[in-house]
Amino acid sequence: MQINVAQLLKEPVGSKRSYRMDELAGENNENHVEGEVNLTRTNRGILVTSELTADIKGSCSRCLGPACVRTTLRFEDEYYPIIDISSGAPLKVEPDAFSIDNNHILDLDEAIRQDIVMATPTKLLCKTDCPGICPVCGQEFARGDCGHGNKPHDHRWDKLAELRKESRV
């Protein structure tokens, strides 16, 4: 989402604007994001506060099928102009700070992308009780038994299994 903030930069500190957001965002524009974005003029730039709802899409960690989780993104970041709105003189901005470009466009895409990455669960699941796939043949356990059981046989442990059998006798 890109917003022209030239007029807001000319207004006094404390001036506000609100925008409704409903678009695709994230790495490959695959996540639907909607909500309210509020801009407030500060003495150095523009404070962006937002509460957005995002549908985060990806692959299920168990069955590798499509998965989607709905989450709330809340962020508060200050954006700094790289040129003075009145004189056009360049301004010094910290390297890691969010900036407003030389056309006075505030771009929220990177902040939203970062929040989506942070909000994405480490194990995204298509459903909470997803049984996963067989590690031998790859068949989904939800489709039925593939005949391999839940655990594949690892031949590296054969000698140890023989020792265990012998010790029980």
Same domain flag for 105 and 141: no
Q: Given the DSSP bridges, would you call strands 66-81 and 98-100 parallel, antiparallel or unpaired?
A: parallel
The mean pLDDT of the chain is: 87
* CA angle, residues 76, 77, 81, in degrees to nearest 5: 150
pLDDT: which is higher, 36 or 135: 36
How many domains are there within the chain?
2
* Number of neighbouring beta carbons within 10 Å of residue 120: 17
pLDDT: which is higher, 70 or 154: 70
| Range(s) of the domain holding residue 141 | 131-169
Residue 30: predicted pLDDT: 81
Same domain flag for 81 and 137: no
Same domain flag for 63 and 103: yes
pLDDT cut 70: percent of the chain above it:
96
Which DSSP helix (H) or strand (E) runs through 167?
Answer: helix 158-168
Convert the pLDDT of each residue in 3-18 to its tens digit. 999 999 999 999 999 9
Residue 87: predicted pLDDT: 85
Mapped onto helix, strand or coil, the DSSP state of residue 40 is strand
Same domain flag for 113 and 141: no
Residue 166: predicted pLDDT: 83
Measured distance CA(65)–CA(47) in Å, rounded: 39
Say if residue 53's pLDDT is above 70.
yes
The last residue of one of the domains, among 127, 145, 160, is 127
Residue 149: predicted pLDDT: 62
Convert the pLDDT of each residue in 112-161 to its tens digit. 988 888 988 889 999 988 888 887 777 787 787 777 665 656 788 888 88
Contact between residue 1 and residue 37 where contact means Cβ atoms under 8 Å apart = yes
Mapped onto helix, strand or coil, the DSSP state of residue 25 is strand
End-to-end CA distance of the chain: 71
Note the pTM of the prediction, 2 decimals.
Answer: 0.72
Contact between residue 47 and residue 14 where contact means Cβ atoms under 8 Å apart = no
Say if residue 91's pLDDT is above 80.
yes
Instruction: Please report, to the nearest 10 degrees, the dihedral formed by the alpha carbons of residues 143, 144, 145, 148 taken in order.
Output: 10
